[in-house]
Amino acid sequence: MPDRLDRMLALVRRHRPRVRLVDRNTVPWMRLPGELARPFVGDINQRFTTVLGDVVYLPGPVERFDRDHLAAVLAHELVHQLDQARSGPWFYASYVLFAPTGRTMRADWERRAYAVDLLLAHERGGEQAVLATRDRLVTVFAGPSYGFMWAGRASAERFLQPVVDAVLDGTLAQQAPYRDILRAWRGEDAVPPEPEVA
């Protein structure tokens, strides 16, 4: 039976048939932003994954990653790929724009993708794992990692809480694309069977 990484790659390829996984450190123009941001957020090139269209730029060679960890990364990045495909140039433009509420518009895109991290945390360890992941994400949203995309920890927690609630009550697992991601993670059929009509 295919492992999680194989299943997640199959799901990603259903949406992005030409997906490629590339070590960002082998691409000079991908290393440059990381070098410029290093004084503010640390070594992006060794910590962060970036996705542009069909290419997932990893912070190292594919072989370096634990297969389950890479499956989780690809699940997160698939949400970005779907949003990029649906929103086109607006995705890229809005990712760097500031909203009038003390946050960047990238926070909306990142909340959608980090919903995967919360969903998979629930799979691994239930409510306690979700709450621990939420606390980590509050730091991500309110801190320098993404350029302070949200103003303040308490506000970032309020912004993330509806997703946390949707994970805990099971509603997120019923929504696309999270439903298919979760089914691939579990090894279930990618498409649920049609209900029988009596």
Concatenated DSSP letters of 55-67: EEEESS-GGGS-H
Beta strand 103-104 pairing with 98-99: antiparallel
pLDDT digits (tens, 9 = 90+) for 61-118: 999 999 999 999 999 999 999 999 999 888 888 877 766 566 778 899 999 999 999 9
Residue 198 lies in a domain: no
pTM above 0.85, yes or no: yes
Nearest to 47 by CA among 9, 82, 73: 73
Residue 36 lies in a domain: yes
> CA–CA separation, 19 vs 111, rounded Å?
23
Q: With the C-alpha atoms ordered 165, 171, 175, 178, is the resulting torsion angle positive or negative?
A: positive
Residue 193 lies in a domain: no
Residue 196 lies in a domain: no
How many domains does the structure of the chain reveal?
A: 1
Amino acid at the residue 168: L
pLDDT digits (tens, 9 = 90+) for 169-197: 999 999 999 999 999 999 996 444 444 44
Residue 17 lies in a domain: yes
Is pLDDT at 161 greater than 80 in this prediction? yes
With bands split at pLDDT 50, 70 and 90, how would you rate the model's confidence at 145? confident
Boundaries of domain holding 43: 4-186
